[in-house]
Structure 1
Amino acid sequence: MSKKYKTVIIDDEELARLRLIRLLKNYSDTVEIIGEAVNGEDGLKKIEDLRPDLIFLDIEMPVYNGFEMLSRLKHSPRVIFTTAYDQYAIKAFEEDSIDYLLKPVEMERLELTIKKLEKISKPEEISLPIESLLRQLNVKKDRKTLTVKIGDRILLVKPEEIAYIQAEDKYVFLCCVDGKKHLTDFTVTSLEEKLPDTFIRINRSTLINTDQISEIRKGFNGSLIFVMKDKEKMKLSSSRRYGEVLREHFDI
């Protein structure tokens, strides 16, 4: 008899969660849904509380994205991604035997996933260790635009319009060259993964667009101060943790 996987579904899209729950009811002999989570922070708590065998995990979510959530786990369930990632990332899943479901999830594709689960004699074979998984999924996507919701409108912001990105408490802002600041639902880490290589992290809460640097000054304790070309001529300091990498990057 195949193992019955105690399962948590983690996705910030309610319709996506409901669809997956409805489809999984056809496989109740294999999958037992014991919980749902609406974002990475909620997912982290549910996993540690419920200790599931398996999670269906979205990648782009508020608070913590899927990768950030996985990196914080103490209990390590098997992972099946429900993702809208492009074909290059999907190829990485396939090559490393990491299962995924492309949203919107289709019954035919889900059936293949269930058959794979049923054939596994040792549950730990369903996925790579979390550390390896995170390395394999470090796929950079060169986004042409980022969407920002302003009331009923959706604004498209081009990467070249952004001077820097900064997190303040639980909020993340796109700080543009023209001085405007736009609140985004993305985390700093997820933006680091999506944006071109011109964007680099200088501390835990800040990404800068290297094309928008006016000058670099040496700060205290090995830190660097970046003077930006934005309207405010913002001065942003690196942390000691990133200092060596930044000095090497800029050949300082």
Structure 2
Amino acid sequence: MRALIVDDERLARNELRSLLAQHPQIEIVGEAENAHQALEQIQALAPELLFLDIQMPGKNGFELLEELGPGPEVIFVTAYDQYALRAFEASALDYLLKPVDPARLSQALSKLNLEREQPDAAAPLALSEKVFLREDERCWFVRLQDISAFESIGNYSRVYFDGHKPLIRRSLNQLEARLPEQYFFRASRQFIVNLDHILDIETAVNGNIEARLRSGIAVEMSRRQSLAFRALKSL
């Protein structure tokens, strides 16, 4: 798996490189010292995984992800533990504290392997197909066209339909691989929305598009996906 290390400290990058040498399944294709360099490297090298610091000069790791939109899997590597909840909300695969413990790194990479081994290579579902959803003791058969949005909650996803919002044990990346792209749009790292369920849109103060859905939720698109949505809808 192709990986990019993003950290403003050279010693931290070197230490992570040394630890990753014990994991031959990870190919380090590049390094970046800040968010600007990281964006350039991501576009040029197309990594599948980011080892991402949070506190960096200029934009921090979270701001990089907001600008990036959908993209590589992310493992945060930071000296600060107060960002763990926010990292979870940003759909990070894991959150490692410096100095990185080799056993914790192995644990994080095993999550990645489990994620990639899920049998999601099947063809996209048809819009009229029904999908089976289960949360605890409740079950639903729901037509795909009736689902307004999917929201990432770590390795889980919340599904919005007909006033319900169960939490299912599937990541947003896994779901995206099965959804028909002409109807479902990846609005950000946190959301996939059903284009037919968008009631109206407006421009947020930061210039990003905010869409209001039939389910009642408002979804702010990332900067990159706002541009893609405008191109898609000729706005």
TM superposition score category, shorter chain reference: 0.3 to 0.5
For CA contacts below 8 A with separation 6 or more, give which structure has more relative contact order.
2
Higher normalized helix content (fraction of residues): 1
| TM-score, normalization by structure 1 | 0.45
Q: Which has the larger radius of gyration?
A: 1
| TM-score, normalization by structure 2 | 0.48
